[in-house]
Amino acid sequence: MTGRRRVHIIGLGSIGLLVAHSLRNMQDPPPVSLIFHRLELLQQWQRHGQQITVQDGRQLSSKEGFEVELTPAAHQSGDTLTPLPISEEPIDCLLVCTKAAVTVAALKRLRPRLSPESCICFLQNGMGTIEDVNMQCFSDEGNRPQYLQGVITHGTHLSRSGPDGNPFLVTHAGHGSISLGVPSNGAVTGHGNSPYRNSSSIYISDVLREARNLGVVCISSEELLQQLLEKLAVNCVINPLTALLDIPNGTINTHGGLVQLMRSMIKEVSSVFLSLQELSHVSNLEHRFSADRLEQQCHKVIQTTSKNISSMLADVRGAKPTEIDYINGYVVRRGKELGIVCKTNEAMVHLMAAKAFVANHTM
């Protein structure tokens, strides 16, 4: 364990739990701290054996040995006799696996423990989060941590069922990969030919690659952006349609009306992506982000995940806020900047907002 830096993880959904389990499953695991934002969740952790369990097919694997922390907000909102002191330990490596909409709030609570020598690795859906973090948490570029960002293709979901179900049991439904790179919107560049600015970013990149079942591959900033956009295009289709209609992914391909909606959304997405200044240097831009190719990508993902439910549908079923503003909403915002109208994607944003409103105001 000598020389192993501590890895902190915030956001204990299915991806956060899978990554935490994978790190502790290594032959020489780093110390891992789980950051809880609610006292209730910490109490459930203690009640369910202080371990993370991953179900992969018929196999169950449980890992222990995690350190745990409560955020200051969790201390203030819960029982005053909390069992853990508030940690002031500097954070070297932070994996952010929260929902996009709560990222800024989560990082504001940890801001005093982060420095330019820290690395924040974003493992999330959607786009636009880092821009929000820069504006609201690290507006001074000189004091900004190094950023890494991952594109995740693993299929995971929480297996919890019933009021006292285990929230630390995750199903690894589909093995994929994590493409890891330095986002260009982090602004601060690395040293020489290396994109990494500090030792923490080099360390967490190496550690994640050692966790073999995560399938981590390091890619350039340019390739990272293109993969993020490709995944966003697929999510723009699958997430809102499945969440609005309460259907598994595969149903989208079985109804002509849904396929037409898909094509309408993809045409808008393609128009926006092909007009982005940050992609103007890409040699195969017209092919990679053509409407036809993006639609093919959607059909492929829908087919391979046909029995799965989307993360947005899981959020709706769990009465949680969705990431629509960082998926279809991101496309709509970029479209407005470019003078491109995205009526279908904007309709999805409004429909999801209406669905949440109705759910919250139904007796």
pLDDT in tens, the chain (363 residues): 347 899 999 999 999 999 999 999 999 999 999 999 889 999 999 999 999 999 999 999 999 999 999 987 665 555 544 566 677 899 999 999 999 999 999 999 999 999 999 999 999 999 999 999 999 999 999 999 999 999 999 989 888 655 568 999 999 988 999 999 999 875 555 444 567 778 999 999 999 999 999 999 999 999 999 999 999 999 999 999 999 999 999 999 999 999 999 999 999 999 999 999 999 999 999 999 999 999 999 999 999 999 989 999 999 998 889 999 999 999 999 999 999 999 999 999 999 999 998 888 764
Cβ-contact 49, 57 below 8 angstroms: no
Question: Any idea what the Cα angle at residue 92 is, between residues 88 and 93, rounded to 5°?
Answer: 115
The pLDDT assigned to 352 comes to: 98
- Amino acid identity, position 206: D
Q: Counting beta carbons within 10 angstroms of the beta carbon of residue 254, is it exposed (0 to 12), middle (13 to 18) or buried (19 or more)?
A: exposed
Helix (H) or strand (E) holding 62: strand 59-63
CA 238 to chain centre: 16
Q: Is 300 helix (H, G, I), strand (E, B) or coil?
A: helix
The pLDDT assigned to 318 comes to: 86
Question: Any idea what the Cα angle at residue 176 is, between residues 282 and 147, rounded to 5°?
Answer: 55
CB atoms within 10 A of CB 234: 21
Tens-place pLDDT, residues 49-69: 999 999 999 999 999 999 999
Query: Which of 106, 115, 123 is closest to 144 using CA atoms?
Result: 115
Tens-place pLDDT, residues 89-110: 999 999 999 999 999 999 999 9
Max Cα-Cα span within the chain = 60
What does the block give as tokens for 233?
């295009």
φ, ψ of residue 149 to 5 degrees: the values are: -145, 145
Q: Enumerate domains of the chain plus CATH numbers.
A: 7-219 (3.40.50.720), 223-360 (1.10.1040.10)
φ, ψ of residue 281 to 5 degrees: the values are: -90, -5
Note the pTM of the prediction, 2 decimals.
0.93
* Distance, CA of 53 to CA of 18 (rounded, Å): 9
The pLDDT assigned to 78 comes to: 52
Phi-psi group of 97: left, alpha or beta (phi > 0 → left; psi -120 to 50 → alpha; rest → beta) = alpha
The pLDDT assigned to 339 comes to: 98
Cβ-contact 129, 228 below 8 angstroms: no
Q: Counting beta carbons within 10 angstroms of the beta carbon of residue 284, is it exposed (0 to 12), middle (13 to 18) or buried (19 or more)?
A: exposed
The pLDDT assigned to 361 comes to: 79
- Amino acid identity, position 162: G
The pLDDT assigned to 80 comes to: 44
Name residues whose C-beta falls within 8 Å of residue 85's C-beta, 6 or more positions apart in sequence: none
* Distance, CA of 169 to CA of 53 (rounded, Å): 5
What does the block give as tokens for 210?
């050692």
